[in-house]
Amino acid sequence: QGCTQKYIVKNYFYYYLFKFSAALGEEIFYITFLPFTYWNIDHSVSRRMIIVWSIVMYIGQVSKDILKWPRPLSPPVVKLEMRTNAEYGMPSTHAMAATAISFSFFLATTNQYKYPFELGLVAAFVFSTLVCLSRLYTGMHTVLDVIGGALISAVLLMLLYPAWDTIDHFLLTSPFCPLFSIVVPLVLCYNYPKLDYYRPTRGDTTTILGAAAGATVGFWLNNQYAAPAYTSKSFQPGFPLVASTMVLVLARFFIGILVVLLTRWVMKSAVLGALGYRYQFPIRNLEARRRLEVEVPYKFVTYSSVGFTATVIVPLLHELLGLM
């Protein structure tokens, strides 16, 4: 798993297109697009995407470690990525995430904003298709992995869609929401399927559930003590994009991302330092950081702080700076 085949790029258009498309199913996309939607488009759309994304990704990650289907053999396949090669293949969580995010965004906005239905449907299909094809191009999945991931995500989305309003109402109004949002993901993380040897799926799952937990607590807190969550002062698509609006949108985004990344760095250092002191290991010890009693609290606390910061601290900062 530590070596890779040498290869020669013959078509740079496809190479960069699918390398970029693959990144649309990774943390760099989640940590930019989902907060951007919350800060600049609509709170309810962002809430629905985050809930669907976390549920779909949890089921996908667990399914991998239960089914234990290997990834394509290399050779003959040339693999352009190494980190995800340590995981099993079926289903493709890139395909699941891309399908869930693109179509939940489409379904959440189609009844709220005026734009051609066909355009939204095509955009969602193109986005998910590019990500799915990127997993084949980079050699990380078989066709069956990708189709299976997309179909599982589509079924889950169809099952969740009728309950969207009910789930949303509970998460915004129930006094039990903060406790539910923290305890349930933690129980799922600590009871993740046992692995024959270490794979990054448990850590990635904890990251996703932690971020969703922090964001959900933020949604509830905003609805209880700040502006009602169903009303957004954010930019609404459909109006002319004047220069001042674009400056405002970009200012919100870059300031927000800076605060989010700073939160992640500070919390990661603080939590790892505390756990290192508790369990007596140097924070650079990778093997120690992979232990259950270290990995779960370290990633859960770090990324729940990121989710909370994105939904509570950053909007407060935007308002303080006059960017709302």
Q: Which residues are catalytic?
A: 94, 141
Check if the beta carbon of residue 181 is closer than 8 Å to that of residue 216.
yes
Nearest to 1 by CA among 68, 87, 117, 60: 87
Q: Given its phi and psi angles, is residue 280 left (phi above 0), alpha (psi -120 to 50 degrees) or beta?
A: left
Identity at 189, one-letter amino acid code: C
Residues with Cβ within 8 Å of residue 21, at least 6 apart in sequence: 130, 131, 133, 134
SS3 36: helix
Residue with tokens 């976390």: 54
**DSSP state at residue 73:** P
Sorted by sequence, the CB contacts under 8 Å of residue 195 that are 6+ apart come out as 65, 201, 202
Residues 6+ away with beta carbon under 8 Å from 256: 35, 36, 39, 310, 314, 317, 318
The answer for residues whose C-beta is within 8 angstroms of residue 74's C-beta and 6 or more apart is 4, 5, 139
Other CB atoms within a 10 A radius of the CB of residue 243 amount to 7
Q: Supply the DSSP string of 49-70, one letter for each residue.
A: HHHHHHHHHHHHHHHHHHH-PP
How many whole angstroms separate alpha carbon 239 and alpha carbon 216? 29
Q: Is 36 exposed, middle or buried (0-12, 13-18, 19+ CB in 10 A)?
A: middle
